[in-house]
Chains A and B, each alone.
Chain A
């Protein structure tokens, strides 16, 4: 299978804090990868490296290479905007813009200069359908996105990312602010989306990782401890620390 991401010897410092230490990781196309580990282990930081979101943080220094489709994107010369067009992101708390549902979905494409009304209409419908939200909102596309429930808002954020037609969707604990029913819907959606996108998800819930992911990476104190097929990580971990964590002995 093809690698979409190939991360080699990635190191990251916040000031003098060495937050990611020598990470090596390959991610296959069209798979779901879960990043697990205790709070502060570096899993969210790692995720934000993949679309250069850490560029926004002052005093953040990154070394090593991140090959995305065989091109190193961790370089001043690589335009982060081009990367973010191909690598979308969904955040921990649903964050739709204070605009209508329609305007939220077309925000990204419009920023890229797409203005053809028919094309935008199609994008809105197809993106909302893929995010399993079309039936809920098709009659009120022009009302405010802030009137939706938390789960609907998060699906709208997924639709907004899909509208950019990305290759990868990064998700940073996308269900941690949602109730169990909304969570179940998002999980079902992630499994469906796998057919077309590569999904990398940070999660605090090991059950969630086990339910939806193909591969799991276990982070601890800024290091990647173990990375393997999810079945193996949960049934037969090779590293003692991984076993301790997934059996609930710490974390």
Chain B
């Protein structure tokens, strides 16, 4: 009996230690980026860093304005989700309700492989298709190289799709069949049943799919660098090059030092806060929608 208790205590401690380790790791990362980034924020000023348009880290009078890259990240994320969410939701509905089980399994197998493909490879693909296409059709007229915000948006949409589809399909499959039967029994057709009942019942899972898709898109670096032209620029013309926050960090960290390096860490803090904001916003939407009605 005593031996058994000792064993139980040992495993309980093991579980607790693992969770402490995992949360400590997150805490350490936060402390670390703040520790490294705060000097630049202090010296250059938080407000200036967020809203100044000029990023000249190596100039004689350096300036560390992140606003163009923050905008590039926000715009590329929003536009790519604007493409990926509707396509993702419609194809999930189609997979779960409108095709046979066999076809669904085949397509899900492909989608899951797609989710595991390294992002650089997706970048290659877009480089050879979208970027090449833009070059062919617009270079002669307006001098567009093809490396652009538009290409970045396509890469990001491609990256987000498998995540959104896999999780949405799981959420739709988990909808209790009694809701489906109730709806059909009341003379609703298949499409009405999907939109009025099943998607509503799967709402929290679908929100999770969108959050994870958005997280993947914001954090994506290499593939975006490959196709975006990587020039610090923000324009209403989507055919021009751009640079996101993550691409900026990856590009400059290798040679940055001093305040420049600290400013790059500070852009890490900005990224971190952006992702937190997305999570919190969606959480609020979810709780509000699910409050009285669900």
Contacts and interface: CB of A to CB of B under 8 A. Distances in A.
Interface string B185-210: 11111001000110011000000000
Interface string A90-121: 01010111111001000110011000000000
A221 interface: no
A53 B186 contact: no
A82 B187 CA distance: 7
A73 interface: no
Across the A-B interface, the 4 shortest Cβ-Cβ residue pairs? A108-B186, A89-B185, A85-B187, A95-B178
B105 to A, nearest CB: 15
Interface of A: 51, 53, 56, 81-82, 84-85, 88-89, 91, 93, 95-100, 103, 107-108, 111-112, 142-144, 146, 157, 160-161, 164
A241 B147 CA distance: 81
A88 B184 CA distance: 10
B186 A160 contact: yes
B184 A56 contact: yes
Contact of A107 (B178, B196, B293, B294): B196
A164 B181 CA distance: 16
A112 B178 contact: no
Contacts of A51: 185
Contact of A84 (B178, B185, B197, B201): B185
Contacts of B61: none
Given A97-B182, A157-B182, A144 B293 contact: yes
A56 B178 CA distance: 12
B197 A108 contact: no
B35 interface: no
A95 B182 contact: yes
30 contacts: A51-B185, A53-B181, A53-B184, A53-B185, A81-B188, A81-B189, A82-B187, A84-B185, A84-B186, A85-B187, A88-B186, A89-B185, A91-B181, A97-B197, A98-B201, A98-B294, A99-B293, A99-B294, A100-B293, A103-B293, A107-B183, A107-B186, A107-B188, A108-B186, A111-B188, A111-B192, A142-B292, A144-B294, A160-B186, A164-B186
